[in-house]
Amino acid sequence: MGTRLAVVTGASTGIGRQLALEFARHGFDLVACADDDALDAAVAEFDALGRQVWSVRDDLATYSGIMELADRVDALDRPVDVLVLNAGVGTGGAFAGDTSLHDQLRVVDLNVAGTVHLAKRLLPAMVERGSGRLVVVSSTVAGLPGPYQATYNASKAFVSSFAAALAEELRGTGVSVTTVLPGVTDTEFFARAGLRDTKIGALSFKDDPARVARQTYAAVTAGRAQVVTGPLYNRLFVLAGRLLPDRLLARVHRTFSALDSAGSPVIG
């Protein structure tokens, strides 16, 4: 059997970079895709592990970016053993306020449309072959309406539902689907989304992305349909999202996601 291949999107920083490292450490060659200057440094780190790495710098929020990545993967003429759909972006602020339509739609284009498009391009070959693993990185906020992160939380609700549906569709095909639900994690997400001055952005107990990656790899290897990474309170958070009414969940979320809330009391 040849060396296995993992395709990882959003591989330049944060959880995606750690996921790529985790798969490389376990003997996978990589196709690493991102659209920022950090990709070169990440690829150098992957190369140092002695794996073959193909770097693809594309904007997966665009149709042409997805097509370019899919064509690059097809040109390798190698089966994709693991497809990690991790690329995502957020934007903070009031939807009807000063946030731009461009930024709001980019969340949808990358997190939702990009996930669906790339899965549609690469997943059928895995099913035809009868083997492979699809990994969809969602979030513990997938079950929570998110004031001041309205499109981001909604996008994660979409990808969670999408992945769960695919898992059932693909049952018995030899292709597994794992949905990953990380909690608040110490990545560049909060700075990029403009959420540094929020309570959620200022939390001191963010999870380690390397731990998220290790727990994800173990769940994917075991063929689990879902993994909530991090400490126990993340699983309680997900449970609350399933049991409590949306109106209450939105009120609580607002306390943590309102801009300039970092220094204010939790209850007010």
Q: Can you give the pLDDT at residue 15?
A: 97
CB under 8 Å to 200, separation ≥6 — which residues? 184, 190, 256, 257
State the pLDDT at residue 262: 58
pLDDT computed for residue 60 by the predictor: 98
Tens of pLDDT, residues 55-64: 999 999 999 9
For residue 264, being part of any structural domain is answered with no
Query: What does the pLDDT average to over 79-95?
Result: 96
pLDDT of 2:
67
Average pLDDT over residues 34-58: 96
Dihedral sign of CA atoms 83, 57, 106, 191 in order: positive
Residue with tokens 């609350």: 240
Report yes or no on 205 lying in a domain.
yes
> Would residue 209 count as lying in a domain?
yes
Q: Is residue 200 part of a domain?
A: yes
- Could you tell me the pLDDT band of residue 263, with boundaries at 50, 70 and 90? low
pLDDT tens column, 152-163: 999 999 999 999
Q: Which residue has the higher pLDDT, 62 or 197?
A: 62
Q: What is the pTM of this model?
A: 0.92
Query: Which whole-number Å values give the CA distances from 162 to 23, 35, 167, 169, 264, in the listed order?
Result: 24, 24, 9, 11, 36
Which two structure tokens, joined as six digits, stand for 168? 């059932």
Q: Tell me how many domains the chain contains.
A: 1
Kindly tell me if the per-residue pLDDT of 70 is higher than 90. yes
By DSSP bridging, strand 53-57 and strand 29-34 are: parallel
- The pLDDT value recorded for residue 176 is 98
CB 23 within 8 A of CB 6: yes
Q: In this predicted structure, what is the pLDDT of residue 168?
A: 98
d(CA 243, CA 226): 18
* 14 Rama sector, left if φ>0, alpha if ψ -120 to 50, beta otherwise: left
pLDDT (tens digit per residue) in 109-165: 999 999 999 999 999 999 999 999 999 999 999 999 999 999 999 999 999 999 999
Catalytic residue ranges: 152
Region 177-205: mean pLDDT is 82
Q: What is the mean pLDDT of residues 162-176?
A: 98
Cβ partners under 8 Å of residue 237, min gap 6: 140, 183
Contact 63, 39 (CB under 8 A): no
pLDDT at 1: 46
Choose among 106, 108, 112, 133: nearest CA to 35.
106
Residue 33 belongs to some domain of the structure: yes
Burial class (CB in 10 A: 0-12, 13-18, 19+), 197: middle
pLDDT on residue 130? 98
Could you tell me if residue 266 is inside a domain? no
Give the pLDDT score at 94: 93
Check which CATH number belongs to the domain holding 201 and give it: 3.40.50.720
Give the per-residue pLDDT at 261: 64
Residue 245 lies in a domain: yes
In a domain, 249, yes or no: yes
**Domain range holding 11?**
5-257
Residue closest to 7 by CA, chosen among 173, 161, 121: 121
On the question of pLDDT at 267 being above 50, the answer is no
